[in-house]
Amino acid sequence: MSPRKVRLVTGMIRGLKLDVARTQLAFLPKAASLPVLKVLNSAAANAVNNFKLDESTLIIKTATADQGPALKRWRARAMGRAAPIKKRTSHITIVLTDGKPTVAKEAKKDTAKEVAPTEVKAEEKSAKGGSASGGKTAVKPAKEVAVNKVASKKDSKPATHN
C-alpha cells in the first residue's frame, strides 16, 4: 500500500485516545485502515504487557507512514510491449504515550524539568494487502518497542491475449 494512502488514515488518528482511534479505524471505509489498526493493536499490547501501562490512558503521540521499497513489476501492453508498474510499500510507525505531562515546573525555581513519559512504538512495513508475515520485537532503551511487519497491495495479474 502506498504511503500516500496510509498517511490519510494515520493523520486521522494522531492525538486521539486508544479506544476512540480503534473505533474510527474499524468503521473507516479505507483499505489502509486494516494495517494501521493492526499496528495500533500491536503497540497497545506492547504497552500493556512490556511496560505495565493502563490501556485506558494510552494516547497516540505520533502516527507516520514513510515510504518503503518499491516492487517493480511489468504489465503486458499492445504489440508485445511491456509497461512498468511500481508497487509501493510503506513503513507504518505509531508511538503511544501514557498521557502524563512531559514538562513539570518546579515551584521554587523557574526552570523547567523534563519528565520523559513512557512511550511504546510499533512499526509495520506495509507491502502485501494487509497480511502480515514475520514479526520482530525489540526493546529500545528509551522505553520504546518496535514491531516490524510486512504487508502490501495484492499483485494484479497482467491481461492475457489469445
| Long-range pairs of 18-23 with CB within 8 A, sequence gap ≥ 24 | 18/44, 18/55, 18/56, 18/58, 18/59, 18/60, 18/96, 19/56, 21/60
**CATH of the domain spanning 3-152:** 3.90.470.10
Residue 115: what pLDDT? 54
Domain extents in the chain: 3-152
Query: Does the model's pTM come out above 0.85?
Result: no
Reference 67, options 127, 114, 109; nearest CA is 127
pLDDT in tens, 67-114: 999 999 999 999 999 999 999 999 999 999 987 765 554 444 544 555
Q: Which residue has the cell 479506544?
A: 19
The C-alpha cell that represents 103 in the structure block: 514538562
Confidence of residue 116 (pLDDT cuts 50, 70, 90): low
C-alpha 67/C-alpha 112 separation (Å) is 37
Q: Which residue has the cell 506492547?
A: 46
Read off the pLDDT of each residue in 129-135 and give the average, rounded to a whole number: 44
